[in-house]
Amino acid sequence: MIYQNETALSKALRRAAKGADRVKLVAHEDKHAVGISDYSFTSENRHGWIELKHCKGYLVSQPPYTVRFPKFTPQQRRYLIDHGRLGATAGALVAVEGDLWFISWGSLLMLPAGTGSSFRFQLNPEYHQRFPHLNAFVSALNSRSATQSFC
């Protein structure tokens, strides 16, 4: 499925989580606190924070894939890194064309802290997890498998 924007991705994620067994997803919309991630989740095997991002398309369509990463504020980056360091699963779920990528908090350390403007970023299958659809991502939120580790 190709997500047209971050709102469409958010709605689809909520639908996928609603049908998931043993995964609870909570949306966070706070206009006063800066940097809080879009979603928190709890499952039997992990808890964490997810920031949603939508990229218009690949600038380079072979590994390592290059995208124009949308606005990512220093506060968003810091929030995910701080929670990841405390043991939470934390990162950005990025939709590019029909693909879904999860960039864990450890990889976010390498992103520019910057001013919150867009920037070029390489999505590499060796370091970032790629999911065929949202149901696979939601299922991985409760997985104990080492191959589905988000850290």
2-20 pLDDT, tens digit per residue, is 888 999 999 999 998 888 8
pLDDT at 40 over 80: yes
Amino acid 101: pLDDT: 92
Amino acid 146: pLDDT: 41
* Alpha carbon distance 118, 110 (integer Å): 15
| Three-state secondary-structure class, residue 35 | coil
Entry pTM: 0.87
Q: Which amino acid is at 118?
A: S
Q: What share of the chain is helix, strand, coil (3-state, %, to 5)?
A: 25, 30, 40
pLDDT higher at 72 or 25:
25
DSSP 86-115: TT-EEEEEEEETTEEEEEEHHHHTTS---S
Contact criterion met (CB below 8 Å) for 105 and 85? yes
Work out the mean pLDDT of the chain and round it to a whole number. 84
pLDDT higher at 68 or 83:
83
Q: Which amino acid is at 101?
A: W
